[in-house]
Structure 1
Amino acid sequence: MQPTNRTARTTRSRRLARAACLLAVAAAVTVTAAPAQAAPAWGRITQVDLGVDGAGANQQSMSLGISGNGRYALFHSAATNLVPDATSGRGLYVRDLRTGRTELVSRTADGAPFPSVTDEAGISGDGRYIVFSAEANGAYNVYVRDRVKGRTSAVTNGTASGTGQSYEPAISADGRRIVFMSTRTDLVPGAPVAPNTRNVYVIDRVTGATRLVSVGADGQAASGDSEHPTISADGRTVGFTSKARNLLPATDGGTADLARLRFTTLYATDLDSGTTVVAGLDPDGTPGAAAPTIRLSPDGRYVAYALRAIPLPGGKARTELFVNDLRTNRVQSIRTSTNPDAICWGEPDAAITADDRWIYFAGGCSDTIIRAGRARFDLYRQNLRTGRTELVTGAPDGTPLAGAAAGLFVTDNGRTVLFSDTNSDLVPDGRRSSDWQVYIRSLKNS
């Protein structure tokens, strides 16, 4: 596969198209039952993508991360009114939720805004470091911004003669390890990398060492593209998607199952032991046909993902959300209904709290939707131990709202969630200006 020179607009369109598809899925179900759970004691929903004089973003925004203590929120926006010098739009921003200050963080080493950035970025646990992918001199590379020192440095320059693109960075909570996808072949000298193939790497910012993660079990180059990497907050586990079929040993019992798949397989690699396993399993323990997004719990024990399911009436696509315990390979279905006959759907970009207790997710079921034919992808949280489910983006009376939620990120204590939403009535002050905006909500006593 030839590497794609993806622009911020292209990457953004992919995510918005996926969300639009999910809206269509929810709209296809006609139901009239009341929700099964009452709304918990949540505080008011607050808009995050605000800029100069508190004005709402004049273009669409998407949430990308939140610091562990909930003070700093990271988001991407095409707006031009968030900071005085953001005239080109399509930038990455951090909002200090305590002071209300919005800061453009996608800046070059000399402080100028990058003219072209993707909506793929990450924030460290204390909010100090931001990693992102931006274009300069005809190529996309991964950069890290130190917000305290106001410095930006490149992570994936490689050698002077090397070519290729680097995207999709994520960062550990302490800011030490950064994972990313790249088509370059010069990042690790002598590494078994096939030309024009997407591979997953991790760099240790303390030692300066870069390591190839997506490598064949026999030490040969991966036989297919690997991308969409993520890293656990503790920096030990890397999750990614791959079409390669040689990442596991040939004697592994799951190899034959991998060969039959025509969709993406999800993997998790323990960086300490070097062990790679299939993370996206069906409930029967075999590799599942998964959507190309993977989320890890902060300690790397649990992985959240969505598997393709039987389409809804009318042929609408559908994915179901699952959580796999990588220690036991126990696969748990995440649903908003206990009715086994209910048709359910779920977004893969779910967020798990640091104590492995709660999972935040966007989804729904056919018996927990209020109004027939109303397109909706509500935000819930579920207790992974008890199965208790709570509606997060509900109206004051506990009923769901119109629209869809996506891009979920949660604080370490699980009491504050950052998300994007298309609901037009989430905030009463009317500062919405486009379909997707960024919001935050906390428990009242947090």
Structure 2
Amino acid sequence: MGSVKGRVGRLQVGWQQLARILAVWLSLWGTGLPSIAQLAGNAPELVSANRAGRAGNFASRAPGVSADGRYVVFFSDASDLVVGDTNEARDVFVRDRALGRTERVSVSETGAQANLGSQQSGDHPAINADGNVVAFDSVATNLVTNDTNGVADVFVRLRAEGRTERASVSTAGLQGNGPSTSPALDASGRFVAFQSSATNLVPDDTNNVADIFVRNRELGTTERPCGAVQPNGPSSQPAISADGRFVAFVSAATNLVPNDTNGALDVFVCDRATGRLELVSRSSSGEIGNADSILPAISADGRIVAFKSLASNLVPDDRNGLVDVFVHDRATGQTQRASVSFLGRDSNGVSYAPALDCSGRFVAFGSEATNLVVEDYNQVPSLFLRDLVSQRTYLIDRNALGEQANAAVLDVAPALSCQPLLAAFSSLATNLTPSDENEHSDVYIQTNLLPSCQTDGDCRDQNLCTEERCGEDGICVFTTKTCAPLDACHEAGICDPATGECSNPVKPDGTDCDDSNLCTENDRCIAGRCTGSAVQCTG
């Protein structure tokens, strides 16, 4: 009788062969599912590497990525990623993939290492579009002067300037009297959103629960966004759009929008320009989710919001009773489920926190499901990429041979770059790169996420708001159409994927504008037109 290991090996090979046959059969019936052959050769890159290029000597996780994918931020308990790491505490690092260098950013302005741990919350650090600005939380007391509150604060590190500043302070510069964590950055690094239990960051904060705050680093101001109504429940997990206008977050409050009676955590979006709050964890028909929705991600323009939810009423025929990943389009009001089987039905496993690319077209997430793609046979949580336009799902965590990861992707949100499209993620696998021998979680980045192409036609889809072409590297490149403001009284537009046409929302009446008429004054937007009163000519 053969060994158990031998029988298991033959069984796995059998399943692989069956999966390949099924993939071919489905492709013949027009599903267009990607196969291992299409995606093989996508060698992941070890990001949490030490100076010798090997995996660090302890766990690393929770990556964020710059717009072009060059810089990856993450936290780590390893002590061998940089020289002189002797604080025996968790630190935050940035990896420059172009130069193959790692920098510790949870340091003081003089470069001194933190005297206590950073990202003890386990949340992600944040990085802006060009990779220069990094935000993180830390209980260290020596990163800035006069840090005497004894709680976690949110800090910002300006890498090029070698400067560290504290963001979780009031407009008057008062340090928070409660812990602040979970930072998010806009594209420029000007705006820092974070959650805090402090009651002294803004006036009239009397609800005694955690709130969402936004720090304007240029003006030195701190606000509680959409603060006309003080939440009657705690809020957390902020995400912010590229321009800092839209902030997505989770709240248990029931008084932010009318008719919030589900008794569950909901996902909201605050429009900081208008003060309008919107509950987005709802179905396409407007029904609020009947269970908790958490961990939002938001597209660069603030239109698309992804989140995970246990709700069963956000889409029709959700009968699996499991946490799924959903995506809500704020422009159309439509909600779709991203964590679906390769036949478009219920997944058979729990799905993890999502990440969106800048356009909102692609959503990445981990999942315990085994039926999201045909060839998922490793029986551990894997990482997936869903194309919301083509309605295709791709398995990401493979090695250069196309083999699946041999251990789980972590239940931590991945990160997606803008252009090129890359995915950073945390995994316990040891077979993604030859240099991983530490038996701890590591941070990787995967390139070439989409199937290969030979002509532009191979990348064609039905979204008229994207231009598709086959790149020089044989990978599809998607460029999203931008809709500039029509004039001073209209916002940046939203492109309709069905028509390719832009619609430009009207700015609120009373917004300052300039009608270029020297004979008018006090110009204001009224019903989308810039009008002013006539200048009185005397003498």
Q: TM-score, normalised by structure 1?
A: 0.82
Does residue 231 (structure 1) correspond to residue 228 (structure 2)? The answer is no
1:331-346 to 2 correspondence within 5 Å? Answer: 331-339=335-343, 341-345=345-349
Tell me the CA shift for residue 133 of structure 1: 0.9
Does residue 193 (structure 1) correspond to residue 193 (structure 2)? The answer is no
Tell me the CA shift for residue 171 of structure 1: 0.6
In 1: Cα distance, 2:416 partner to 2:56 partner:
22
Does residue 436 (structure 1) correspond to residue 414 (structure 2)? The answer is no
In 2: Cα distance, 1:435 partner to 1:403 partner:
11
In 2: Cα distance, 1:58 partner to 1:383 partner:
36
Q: Higher strand fraction: Structure 1 or Structure 2?
A: 1
Counterpart position of 2:303: 301
In 2: Cα distance, 1:300 partner to 1:175 partner:
16
Greater relative contact order (CA < 8 Å, ≥ 6 in sequence): 1
Letter matched to residue 75 of structure 2: H
In 1: Cα distance, 2:64 partner to 2:56 partner:
18
**What does the per-residue CA deviation read over 1:74-94, in whole Å, with 9 as the maximum and x for residues that have no partner?**
010000111122222310000
Counterpart position of 2:405: 401
Does residue 268 (structure 1) correspond to residue 248 (structure 2)? The answer is no
In 2: Cα distance, 1:343 partner to 1:354 partner:
26
Contact 1:214 1:247 in 2 (8 A): no
In 1: Cα distance, 2:61 partner to 2:84 partner:
20
**What does the per-residue CA deviation read over 1:319-345, in whole Å, with 9 as the maximum and x for residues that have no partner?**
111100011110011135243554344
Q: Secondary structure at the match of 2:306?
A: strand
Q: 1:426 aligns with which of 428, 432, 437?
A: 432
Runs of 4+ in 1 over 6 A off after TM superposition: none
Does residue 384 (structure 1) correspond to residue 388 (structure 2)? The answer is yes
- C-alpha distance 291-183 of structure 1, shift in aligned 2 (>3 A): same
Letter matched to residue 60 of structure 1: A
Counterpart position of 1:319: 323
Number of aligned positions between the proteins: 396
- C-alpha distance 73-178 of structure 1, shift in aligned 2 (>3 A): same
- Greater Rg over alpha carbons, structure: 2
**What does the per-residue CA deviation read over 1:55-78, in whole Å, with 9 as the maximum and x for residues that have no partner?**
321111113211111111101000
Letter matched to residue 82 of structure 1: L
Letter matched to residue 132 of structure 1: F
Tell me the CA shift for residue 291 of structure 1: 4.1
Counterpart position of 2:92: 92
- C-alpha distance 142-84 of structure 1, shift in aligned 2 (>3 A): same
Question: After the TM superposition, which of the residue ranges 357-366 and 131-140 deviates more from structure 2?
Answer: 357-366
Letter matched to residue 137 of structure 2: S
Contact 1:379 1:392 in 2 (8 A): yes
Does residue 358 (structure 1) correspond to residue 362 (structure 2)? The answer is yes
In 2: Cα distance, 1:148 partner to 1:173 partner:
16
Tell me the CA shift for residue 397 of structure 1: 6.1
Counterpart position of 1:13: none
In 2: Cα distance, 1:94 partner to 1:133 partner:
15
Q: 2:225 aligns with which of 201, 213, 220?
A: 213
1:230-249 to 2 correspondence within 5 Å? Answer: 230-248=239-257
Does residue 204 (structure 1) correspond to residue 219 (structure 2)? The answer is no
Q: Secondary structure at the match of 1:407?
A: coil
- C-alpha distance 71-230 of structure 1, shift in aligned 2 (>3 A): same
In 2: Cα distance, 1:275 partner to 1:282 partner:
19
Q: Secondary structure at the match of 1:259?
A: coil
In 1: Cα distance, 2:79 partner to 2:89 partner:
5
- C-alpha distance 224-426 of structure 1, shift in aligned 2 (>3 A): same
Letter matched to residue 424 of structure 2: L
Q: TM-score, normalised by structure 2?
A: 0.68
**Percent of pairs identical after alignment?**
27
Q: Which runs of 5+ in 2 are unaligned?
A: 1-14, 24-32, 142-147, 313-319, 453-472, 476-539
Does residue 329 (structure 1) correspond to residue 333 (structure 2)? The answer is yes
Tell me the CA shift for residue 141 of structure 1: 1.2
Contact 2:226 2:271 in 1 (8 A): no
Counterpart position of 2:190: 176
In 2: Cα distance, 1:381 partner to 1:183 partner:
35
Contact 2:63 2:74 in 1 (8 A): yes
Does residue 126 (structure 1) correspond to residue 124 (structure 2)? The answer is no
Root mean square deviation of aligned Cα:
2.6
